[in-house]
Structure 1
Amino acid sequence: MNPTLQLQPASPRAALWWLFGAALFAGVAPALPAGAWAVLHAVLSNLALSFLPFLWYCRDSDACQFQRTAWWNMGMVTLLFPVLPLYLWRSRARGRRLKAIGRACACALMLLVAGGLGALLALLAGV
């Protein structure tokens, strides 16, 4: 018998962990000297910080059985901060909506802390 390998899609929580790692990585930017490496770092950081919230949205909407449309997808990519609370409000059941928005605000603060920690670690390492 030849068992087939079936990959499970990443969970919303896994996408958030990747997002925290990307914020930590992006925080290194102020400590980098100007040059090609700084430009490459900026490109990679921006790509990760643009893609990972959308990945979280895709995984979360699948878990909540929320039907994604092209308009929701475009809104999450282009206008993340105003659209995210609206998405959380529409995709959560009554009684869980404000809690989800509060958790998103706490997550945003934690992402800022992760970016600051990345900058601190880069300065301490002498990058």
Structure 2
Amino acid sequence: MSAALPMTEPPRRNPRQTFHFLLALTAVMGLVSGFYDGRHWPEPLWWTVVAAGVLNFAIFVWYCRDTDVHGIRRSRAGNLFVILLAPLAVPVYLLRRAAGHRWRALLRMVLFLLLFFVVETLGVLLGELLA
């Protein structure tokens, strides 16, 4: 007879890694936009499409990791909502997740958006300097 090994739960991925990736991606997007603006060139359509797709995918990955960490079951409708309408779906998700602390969740989301605005603005300024 062989002894069965106990099943171990796979490690949960930290949503903060995705958060850092989102910050870096936002900085790169700002840098590229600033570079093209500094040269007075139109930004290529392929770059806009690829960057938006990667950003949307990264938001979905964050959503999946966050639901895993908090033990929240994802539905297909919720997944589609996040993929298709992330600017609306993420606040709805955060408000549902933080049932007792909704104001804190809203404040954190506003600070998060402010941080992204600052990072993108710095990226644009750096891109214009490099142009």
TM-score scaled by length of structure 1: 0.81
Residue by residue over 1:29-87, the C-alpha shift from the partner in whole angstroms, topping out at 9 and shown as x without a partner, is: 2422547x834432331122111111111111111111100110111111112222211
Aligned to 1:101: 106
CA distance in 2: counterparts of 1:124 and 1:30, whole angstroms: 8
Deviation (angstroms), 1:100: 1.6
Unpaired runs of at least 5, structure 1: 1-6
CA distance in 2 between partners of 1:106 and 1:26 (Å): 20
> Does the Cα contact within 8 Å between 1:29 and 1:42 map onto a contact in 2?
no
The alignment's C-alpha RMSD in Å is 2.1
| Counterpart AA for 1:66 | I
Equivalence map 1:77-116=2 (5 Å): 77-94=83-100, 96-116=101-121
Matched ranges for 1:14-25 at <5 A? 14-25=17-28
> Secondary structure of the equivalent of 1:66?
coil
Partner-residue secondary structure (3-state), 1:76:
helix
Alignment of 1:14-93 (within 5 A): 14-27=17-30, 28-32=32-36, 34=41, 38-93=44-99
Contact 1:50–1:77 (CA under 8 A) maintained in structure 2: yes
Identity %: 28
Compare CA radii of gyration and give the structure with the larger one. Answer: 2
Structure number with greater CO (CA < 8 Å, separation at least 6) is: 2
Given that 2:26 and 2:119 are in contact with CA atoms closer than 8 Å, whether structure 1 keeps it comes out as yes
Task: Give the TM-score normalised by the residue count of structure 2.
Answer: 0.78
Distance 1:39 1:82 in 2: 25
The alignment covers a number of residue pairs equal to: 118
Aligned mates of 1:80, 1:39 — CA distance in 2: 21
